[in-house]
Structure 1
């Protein structure tokens, strides 16, 4: 039986609900803040989707990008994005998948990428943190998956969201091998030198709650040095809650804590980091429509 994509062929795309973004007593919230990477489908599984969206609204988020890790998950995130005006989604095949996407799946992924609320391919990448219960997908399988998804991103003219866990050199090799690829280094865990290599390839650096952790010295050093137009912020919710929420279920609103930590590291005001990261996210993910939604 064919999969039911969230694209309604012949009927157009469902108009997003206006429920998220309505403020009591005409309250107006500044929206210079974007969570470039979270997993709303996982929050939905935990019964926390509405709580997450309401908290994001109260915190003044302009946009949220919810991330797919395989075809089914990407479809779920597409359906969420269709019904919320400041939610966008990506189409991914993460390194924990046990095999590369086959040709039929690649065609379905490509169809999803043509949805008007799809902004990126991802997450995709390499993960060398092999642990029982986490994942055990061999590196050669991960590489084949990554290369197929990078080629898809180039053919569909979409940025990629790169998952890189303990695979810095291998990721650089893969990105160098594919002409025209661009995007975001999701949940950056490298040092300043690795950040410079990524930026040289045209990738922006995404800082998560990890940058707030007390022993994240190398990541914090990278955060101090990256150019103002080459970094963004994310939560990776429900994972990686920043200090002072570490150990709890993460939510998109907590991207503001990461912004504050980056402002302290860079010795600037929070508003400067909000401006840097929002402008960069708008540019790299082509989120101009999200800006229009936030002003409506």
Structure 2
């Protein structure tokens, strides 16, 4: 059984399911996906995600603001707000947060402040961070170190081995998405070879980044076994072994029985 450690269920393309999310979830379950962590990108997501988690025993959710959404968010990003929302029993993580300088490097300062706020909320709630980093690896690791972050995951990992090792030294996990299956992702596969299975998670990040052989389609959780297959190929393991180990890792990190 597979655990999708990072997906955006409220943003899936449901055209193939007549607009019915339940059908998309059923399709994923039929492929062996036993749990979904649906991840917040803005605090306005809270009502939708919490309601979804309440209605499904195999869904948990996070609370946070994506770095690319910091400048546009309509709600104050404060430690108090994050901690209050994270009190929900099915809110298992803080994030996704982090830094993304790819499109808006001029927003570095506001992104960093938001990231630090999320780290503080993570420490107070004792819930792990979900960290996004793009074109910001040095600042990401620096802030995690300076703010004494000790638990979380670098999701949809595409960075170098030094970044992975620095994060793991702080107690973080590394999550691989469908990118690991891409033909042009040899460098990432080389990094993945060196990451211990005890520190790996898998994810779809759906509706983005559909894995081979589904490239060009809108991603969805039912494609998660293809991500597991790509990781299995890199690590010289079976898909079942990847599923079992990453499921155990997820349970350990997020405290969820899966």
- TM-score bin, normalised by smaller chain: over 0.9
Aligned to 1:23: none
How many angstroms does 1:196 deviate by? 1.3
Q: State the partner residue of 2:159.
A: 190
Partner of 2:63: 91
Alpha carbons of structure 1 residues 44 and 265: separation in structure 2 relative to 1, 3 Å? closer
Does 2:210 correspond to 1:241?
yes
Query: CA 1:178–1:45 in structure 2 vs 1: closer, same or farther (change >3 Å)?
Result: farther
User: For residues 100-151 of structure 1, what are the alpha-carbon distances to aligned partners after superposition, in whole Å with 9 as ceiling and x for unaligned?
Assistant: 8637x54333222111111100100000111xxxx57610010011101110
State yes or no: 1:142 paired with 2:105.
no
- Give the 3-state SS of the residue equivalent to 1:57 in structure 2: helix
CA distance in 1, matches of 2:256, 2:96: 18
Partner of 2:122: 153
**1:108-147 matches, cutoff 5 A:** 108-130=81-103, 138-147=107-116
Give the equivalent residue in structure 1 for 2:245: 276
Asked if 1:73 corresponds to 2:42, the answer is no
Contact 2:156 2:205 in 1 (8 A): yes
In the alignment, the residues of structure 2 paired with residue 194 and residue 71 of structure 1 have an alpha-carbon distance, to the nearest angstrom, of: 28
Structure 1: runs of 5+ lacking an equivalent: 1-31, 292-296
Q: List runs of 5+ in structure 2 lacking aligned partners.
A: none
Query: Separation in 1 of the partners of 2:109 and 2:54?
Result: 35
Counterpart pick for 1:227 among 184, 196, 209:
196
Determine the C-alpha separation between the residues in 2 that align with 1:263 and 1:44: 28
Give aligned pairs, total. 253
Max Rg structure: 1
Match of 1:64 among 12, 36, 39: 36
Distance 2:37 2:154 in 1: 14
1:102 aligns to what?
76
Q: Distance in 2 between matches of 1:137 and 1:50?
A: 40
Question: Relative to 1, partners in 2 of residues 1:180 and 1:168: Cα closer, same or farther, differing over 3 Å?
Answer: closer
More helix by share: 2
- Runs of 4+ with deviation above 6 angstroms: none
Q: Which moved more, 1:190-199 or 1:41-50?
A: 41-50
Between 1 and 2, higher relative CO (CA 8 Å, sep ≥ 6) is seen in 2
Could you list the per-position Cα deviations for residues 70-117 of structure 1 after superposition, in whole angstroms to 9, with x for gaps in the alignment? Answer: 1111331111111111000000111012068637x5433322211111
Q: CA RMSD in A?
A: 1.8
Alpha-carbon distance in structure 1 between the residues aligned to 2:223 and 2:133: 22
- CA deviations 1:133-172 (Å, max 9, x no partner) are xx57610010011101110110111100000011111100
How far 1:59 sits from its partner (Å)? 1.1
Task: Please report how far the alpha carbon of residue 271 of structure 1 lies from its aligned counterpart in structure 2 after TM superposition.
Answer: 1.2
Please state how far the C-alpha of 1:191 moved relative to its aligned partner.
2.0
